[in-house]
Amino acid sequence: MTIDLVLLTVFLMLSGFFSSTETAFTSLSLIQAHKLVDEHGKKGERVQKLSHNPDILLTTLLIGNNLVNIGATTLATKLTINLFGSHALGYMTGALTLFILIFGEVTPKQIAMAKNTSICLHTAPVVWFLSWIFRPFIWIITLISSTITRIFVSSTQKTLTLENLLLMVSMGENMGIVETYENQMVKNVFRINDTPIQGIVTHRKDVYSLSGDLFLSEAIDDMLRSGFSRIPIFKENPENIVGIVLVKELIKIDRETMEDLRLRDMMLEPLYIPHSKKVNEVFTLFKQKAINIAIVLDEYGGLAGIVTREDVIEEIFGELYDENEIKETDKIISEGKNSWIIAGDTSFYTIHDKLDIELEHSRRILTISGYIIEKIGHIPEEGEVLDFEEGTYEILKVRNNRIQSVRFRIIPEE
């Protein structure tokens, strides 16, 4: 009887071993697995191999766990009959089930969640050894389960997708592991791959530029007051940008020399890019060519505006301000329940993040202003109220044929 009690204890401990090992490996992330390889060499490689072969890993652990649980049940039944008779089997079954649940399942798995890397390192050799012993059974079970799986599942889903990654980052923010700004940065990094540069350009009507015919002496004071370090230079009209002047190079020139030099004599050849180019592509161009400003052209080759390296970086990190810049107000200002003031140049991404609203639009439209104009087919007047499926828009301000701000109200469901 003593031997039976010892064996029963061993079986229960092995049940806990298999349960904790299963949880440790299934909760092990790709990053943790790579870190184990870097820090522990061959031991870490063994863990990584097992985690990359879930069929072998899980089948080995399930076979082992079932065997020890069957053994524990058999011994417990034998001990109960010898000590109390067969009439006590019902009580034994309930007690053993509770005991296995607490000490063979729940507790080991909770410990494994907290110590998964350590447990994986120490249990991997045992699991690897058992996988060779159970190899014939593993092969048969895996073959049958794979066949059944293929019947019900048409294709294997990727374990790590962009959607899953963004979901994990958002969950990390909710758990306090990831800061809000870090979550937003991760989203922005992937968004720039799909965002055309036209969504962040400084519109041609807002571009500060100077004629190339101006003498440096005529233009230098105005350029310094502008606060810009790079000035677009046009020929004949502001729509025809032909060069870029660096203010830092001009201030090195003495005043007498400025009397004889025109801006066109000091300008550099600009980089021209189509407005359809993606933000990430423009960022790569800026790095390759070591420049900080580009001229954006529309589909007809005309001037659409300009874009700077800072504009691109702000798409990832958010608005950046120096000591001379006036901080912009928020693009979306809440007026209370179900009502907001929205700037016309607010992007769909911002609206989705702040208001959790998806707006159906063509790919060439990037802002709420363009969305409204596309919907109604004309430029609205101030005070005009528009009823759309998602809510009501009141046009607050229109300047130079562009919507500056709107009031958006969500109509509550009755």
Residue 159 has pLDDT above 70, yes or no: no
* pLDDT band, residue 158 (cuts 50/70/90): low
pLDDT computed for residue 128 by the predictor: 92
Residues with Cβ within 8 Å of residue 141, at least 6 apart in sequence: 59, 63
* pLDDT band, residue 270 (cuts 50/70/90): very high
- C-alpha gyration radius of the chain: 34
User: What mean pLDDT do residues 334-358 have?
Assistant: 83
User: What mean pLDDT do residues 243-257 have?
Assistant: 90
User: Residue 395: in which H helix or E strand, if any?
Assistant: strand 391-399
Could you write out the DSSP letters of every residue in 172-187? HHHTTSS-HHHHHHHH
pLDDT computed for residue 407 by the predictor: 92
* pLDDT band, residue 360 (cuts 50/70/90): confident
Residue of 182 and 384 predicted with greater confidence: 384
pLDDT computed for residue 122 by the predictor: 92
Residue of 1 and 315 predicted with greater confidence: 315
User: What mean pLDDT do residues 65-74 have?
Assistant: 86
* pLDDT band, residue 201 (cuts 50/70/90): confident
* pLDDT band, residue 9 (cuts 50/70/90): confident
- Of 3-7, 41-45, 258-262, the range with the lowest mean pLDDT is 3-7
Model confidence pLDDT, tens digit, residues 363-372: 667 788 888 8
pLDDT computed for residue 321 by the predictor: 56
Domains assigned to the chain: 2-152 (no CATH), 163-191 (no CATH), 197-317 (3.10.580.10), 332-409 (3.30.465.10)
pLDDT computed for residue 246 by the predictor: 93
Neighbours of 92 (CB within 10 A): 18
Express as a percent the part of the chain with pLDDT over 70.
92
Express as a percent the part of the chain with pLDDT over 90.
23
pLDDT computed for residue 90 by the predictor: 74
Strand duo 303-308 + 293-297: pairing: antiparallel
Residue of 209 and 86 predicted with greater confidence: 209
User: Residue 81: in which H helix or E strand, if any?
Assistant: helix 54-84
pLDDT computed for residue 311 by the predictor: 87
pLDDT computed for residue 414 by the predictor: 54
* pLDDT band, residue 411 (cuts 50/70/90): confident
Contact 348, 370 (CB under 8 A): no
Give, rounded to a whole angstrom, the gap between the first and last alpha carbons of the chain.
Answer: 72
Q: Kindly list the distances between the CA atom of residue 375 and the CA atoms of 332, 362, 402, in Å, as whole numbers in the listed order.
A: 21, 10, 15
- Of 23-37, 207-221, 232-246, the range with the lowest mean pLDDT is 23-37
Model confidence pLDDT, tens digit, residues 284-342: 999 998 899 999 998 888 999 999 998 888 888 776 655 555 455 578 888 888 899 99
Model confidence pLDDT, tens digit, residues 95-140: 777 877 888 888 988 898 888 899 999 999 999 999 999 988 888 8
pLDDT computed for residue 124 by the predictor: 92
Exposure of 132 by Cβ count < 10 A (0-12 exposed, 13-18 middle, 19+ buried)? Answer: exposed
User: What mean pLDDT do residues 52-62 have?
Assistant: 89
- pTM, rounded to two decimals: 0.54
Burial 187-196, CB ≥16 within 10 A → b, else e: bbeebbeebb
pLDDT computed for residue 326 by the predictor: 45
Residue of 192 and 153 predicted with greater confidence: 192
Q: Which two tokens stand for residue 233?
A: 């230079």
Could you write out the DSSP letters of every residue in 269-306? PPPEEETTSBHHHHHHHHHHHT-SEEEEE-TTSSEEEE
Average pLDDT, the chain: 84
